[in-house]
Amino acid sequence: MRLRRLLGSLLPLALAPVALTALGPAALAGEPAGTEVVAHRGASGDAPENTLAAVDEAVAQRADSIEIDVQRSADGHLVVLHDTTLTRTTDVERVFPGRALDPVGSFTLAELRRLDAGSWFGPGFAGQRIPTLDEVVEHIGERAGLLIELKEPAAYPGIEAEVAAELGEQPAGIVVQSFDHDAMRRFAEVAPAVPAGWLFEARPSTAELDDAAATGVEQINPSFRGTDAGLVEAIRSRGMQTGVYTVDDEADMRRMLDAGVDRIITDHPGVLRDVLDG
């Protein structure tokens, strides 16, 4: 498939066993690695989230990697969308009256294609569509890395194996993460070579960090609100890296940089890039 051919064309990345991360422009150019700029659902502060327009804006703002959310359509296609319903980011109420609150997984890909996923953000984005995972990866190409979140995987039995199959055997520059750590364990069984991240809503406990390290997790990705230098060091001492979400204020960005995090997920990658550039 197109996705496998694309992944096979990505440049290999020589990294230490615990430091495999999404491949960004700096890595592709052979530049020294620094704090990674990760665009949250694309540059979602400046374009409609999880669309190809948001991907392009993230690249324009010099993001190293792009974070997206993956769910599954009723007919088995992996689609990129955050919410479990379509009301907030599409015109589903107009196109499918009476189905506005139906779950994403109850719509076929053809039905999802009928929805406008851009006008809610601004008239200049009218006509943006919900993309598939394959389309996003192909659209990014070698311009940035990719951080894939399995969104509500319990609602999509078997999605771990489907994502693994879509990625192929050598998914250079791609990391998969989820708040559902049982799903991530299942994903590790079917795709042991793919770097894995565990998301946390609250500050992870010592026991949770030990569990993650024993499972082979490479990234611990908590909310920035509960993250400090002590947590970063606890994560690093277990051979893992830290990525925090969702950091949009410059003062918070600087605080996370002072704490030593490895990556920052933000709606405004250009702002973070400016902070990093001094």
Q: CA 130, CA 115: separation in Å to the nearest integer?
A: 8
Q: For residue 270, which phi and psi values (nearest 5 degrees)?
A: -65, -35
Note whether 96 and 15 are within 8 A (CB). no
Catalytic-residue membership of 268: no
Question: Which entry of 40, 77, 139, 181 is annotated as an active-site residue?
Answer: 40
Q: For residue 104, which phi and psi values (nearest 5 degrees)?
A: -55, -40
Q: For residue 107, which phi and psi values (nearest 5 degrees)?
A: -105, 140
Q: CA 96, CA 173: separation in Å to the nearest integer?
A: 37
Distances (CA, A) of 177 to 61, 190, 199: 23, 14, 7
Strand partners, 219: 197, 241
Question: Which entry of 77, 82, 139, 181 is annotated as an active-site residue?
Answer: 82
Q: Can you give the length of the chain in residues?
A: 278
**CA 142 to chain CA mean position, Å:** 16
Catalytic-residue membership of 139: no
Return the active site residues: 40, 82
